[in-house]
Amino acid sequence: MAAVKRPPLPVILVANDLLEGDVVFATADGWSRDPRQAKVAQDDAAAQALEAFAAREFLHARVVGATLVDVELRDGAPVPRHIREAIRALGPSTRPDLGKQADFQI
């Protein structure tokens, strides 16, 4: 069996909430819209645990599109390394003074 291809560590788990449609981040206690609260996987075992959590949450129809995203830590907070995921984490880029992106500057 081939090894699962994952982004480089550390990673966080990002998904879309099925009821609200918002981007959400896996935390130690469930899901949050705040990317600073994301649980960071530093090793393969923790990344596998996040993937297993995503599979369970999908089966319970809570989230879709769960993806591991590689991050760097800045002042202890995970920040996506790729611009696409940074924009996804913050929300629409047309009005950064409005919406969740105004509250969750990373």
Q: pLDDT tens across 59-97, in order?
A: 999 999 999 999 999 998 999 998 878 777 776 666 667
Question: Model pTM?
Answer: 0.82
- Amino acid identity for residue 44 in this structure: D
Rounded Cα distance, 80 and 35, in Å: 9
Q: What are phi and psi of 2, to 5 degrees?
A: -75, 150
Q: Which residue has the higher pLDDT, 49 or 105?
A: 49
